Structure 1
Amino acid sequence: MSQLDSLRRWLRHHKGRQTYDELAACPAHHKDLAVSACTLRRALDGRMPTWRTVHAFAHATGADLDEARRLWEAAHTERQNRTGPASPRPYTPRRIRTRKGLAAALRRVRTDAGSPSLRALQDSPQANGQLPKSTLCEVLRGRLLPSTTLLQAFLRACHAPDHVVSALLAARARIATGHPRQARTYSYICEAAEEADYRRQQTEEIRARCGLTQPDNDYWDEASP
């Protein structure tokens, strides 16, 4: 039996007789863990689920989160060993000029670091007590421009490479000084994708809060706090 089969059997056991719609609408759901019934169904019948999906599943069923993490990491590692490391995505944050673009870049840095929880980042020795979870949550959603100190602490906690640190600090300085952005011209390969992804995530959050279901693609997840 594969590690993914073990994860699915564990999820199926904790699901019990509850429907996927009931799990998706669970009132105990944290707002950052909202996922559709379709996504929860795919965790048992489709491709390898993201950690965010498994986290939401465990939260909705009252299952042990540490056990969920252990099983998911085992399945994730097994999958990576079979398929090999994914090719790095082309990504250059040098031209970010908006708060939302910076937030998208920071979410990707977090994903590349293994999607640590906000608490893990806050308590990281590299953060040196300068990464409050509540503030970081607002930064990653694009609602707040991080201070230089917080941004540096986040990048240290995520072990970001030097060229990414330099680029994102420069991006933060451009945004803070109100450097004008050129009208709707995308100056690097990922800018359009970042903005489209941010709009998609916002739409999914709104639909989830309104109790609407739709097929989604398990992005980020993220990373979830």
Structure 2
Amino acid sequence: MPGRIRTWPGLTEGLKRLHEETGSPSLRLLAASPGAAGRLSKSTISNILNGKRPTLEQLTALLAAFGATRETTDGMLAAYRRIVAEPEPPAVYPCDIVERAERDRETHLVQEETRLRYRGIEPEPEAELDWYDEQLRDAREAEWRRLEGWVGSLGVEELAALNDQAAAASGRDLRSELNDARGRPGETPGTPPTA
């Protein structure tokens, strides 16, 4: 599994899976474990499992706290080094642009909720935004809809040409990713996912 990890979200998912495989111990137990050796707090572990990028030392301590095997630890550390060494390639096709925008939006929401909880404030499901934040949200949503409309308007030949570009640049298959994006449960084609 760690050999396939090439992105920060992939690393986060791998750590979450490892947490589940170890019986989902509480953050308190993980922070107090000999493997963590005082290098991790409960909030640091929570942040890492919620998508915050760990340092190499934090990742090593977390893997030790999980009691990961030597093979898993080596694989996860190699994945970390691979991610750090390889900058994310530029978006070369429409689905990638939309996916990155959605991932950035979700990451921002998670970080904001974490900040609020850290300050002892329980986030509201639909917090009222000030004028500036509404403008930013509306601009992001309009851009998302524009990109989604553009992807939906592509013909078979245009889609094939973009797929060829994507395959040449990153080895990805645009057609399957577009089909996956359109076939996600709970989403209607042509509409952006709900926050």
TM-score range normalised by the length of the shorter chain:
0.3 to 0.5
Larger radius of gyration: 2
Comparing both structures, which one devotes a greater share of its residues to helix?
2
Q: Please report the TM-score for the alignment, with normalisation by the length of structure 2.
A: 0.46
Q: Please report the TM-score for the alignment, with normalisation by the length of structure 1.
A: 0.40
Higher relative contact order (CA 8 A, sep 6+): 1
